[in-house]
Chains A and B, each alone.
Chain A
Amino acid sequence: MNVSKYLPLTETTFYIMLALRKAGHGYAVMQKVEELSNGRVRVAAGTMYGAIENLIKQKMIMSVPSEDSRRKMYQLSPLGLEVLALEIERLKSLVEVYQQIESEEA
């Protein structure tokens, strides 16, 4: 499968996927994203639900058994992990290119 078609990730999607490396329900993910981004990225409830729906459809996250009868638990799938790793590589290479140009100019 061509994984690179999912890239680049939006900042919101990136943080949600990062938060879902460990299983969690929707609101836990909202809190985790805020914490990971030092309060810079805040995902609203409607946006969060839409993102979960979309990631499930793309099979990047999956629903896992939940102890809470109302709240579903989600976790990153193997595909999601792969996409996240690829995105990190992409971001790294961007930074590398920038640093190279900067050092050449110096």
Chain B
Amino acid sequence: MRKFKVFADFKEEEAYLNEMAKKGYFLKKHSAFGFYHFTEGTPEELYYHVDYRKFKTQADFEDYLALFEDAGWRHVYGTKNSLNQYFLPKDGNADDDIFSTKDSAALRYKHLNKICYANVTVAIAYFIAVLIIYDFSLANIGFLTQGLWEMTGTLFWMAFFFELPFVLFRTAPVVLSLVMGIAYAVWGSKAKRIYSKMMEDEK
């Protein structure tokens, strides 16, 4: 089974995975596009923990996995570049945590915020690049057939459908970059709010 979900709050994500396990759905994979892949089995009480990290090298990633395994965690899913890392306590204990200080638990949110904002920057840069290419006129990415809108009947529809794929090809990246930019901005600011709140609570 596949489910599309996006979380800014790792606690909510962990609670969601625990809830799914209770219904007999166990996390198998989490794709970069936000899909959770589940396998079906006998319902179980599980306590998932999510870490969020970037690794420079495969050796760093291996060292990280070895540390968690040594410390009693089973790595459920995560690759060197997946950012999200999913763990279950080997002893099934509900009280185990992957963080022992509030600072380190809060840092996850700071990392998430950074990556989201980096993606917003990429989306904006892309959008500006497209505007430059089309001479700062969005009209230049629409229908370009001369006199198209004066045509009538079959001629109009033939010309319209002939150019439509080209128009979609030109507009889709623009729309997509705008939507992604806004989505990442919302996601990143949510993570930032949680981070600030966690750091405040500490004082």
Contacts and interface: CB of A to CB of B under 8 A. Distances in A.
A92 interface: no
A51 B104 CA distance: 8
A12 B100 contact: yes
Contacts of A25: 63, 66-67
Contact of B63 (A30, A46, A70): A70
Interface in A1-53: 10, 12, 25-27, 30, 42-51
B104 A26 contact: no
B113 to A, nearest CB: 16
Interface residue range, chain B: 20 to 34
B198 to A, nearest CB: 14
Interface string B58-88: 0110111111101101000000000000000
Given A27-B70, A44-B71, A50 B63 contact: no
Given A27-B70, A45-B68, A50-B107, A72 B98 contact: no
A71 interface: yes
Contacts of B49: 46
Interface residues of A, number: 20
A30 B66 CA distance: 13
B104 A45 contact: no
Contacts of A42: 100
Nearest to B54: A53
B136 interface: no
Contact of A70 (B51, B66, B98): B66
B152 interface: no
B67 A27 contact: yes
Contacts of A71: 63, 66-67, 70
B66 A45 contact: no
A30 B98 CA distance: 12
| Interface-centre pick from A10, A44, A71 (highest chain B CB count, 10 A) | A44
B101 interface: yes
Contact of A30 (B53, B71, B101): B71
11 contacts: A10-B103, A12-B100, A25-B66, A26-B66, A26-B70, A46-B99, A47-B100, A47-B101, A71-B63, A72-B59, A72-B60
What are the 8 closest A-B residue pairs judged by CB atoms, nearest first? A27-B70, A46-B98, A26-B67, A44-B100, A45-B71, A47-B104, A72-B63, A70-B66
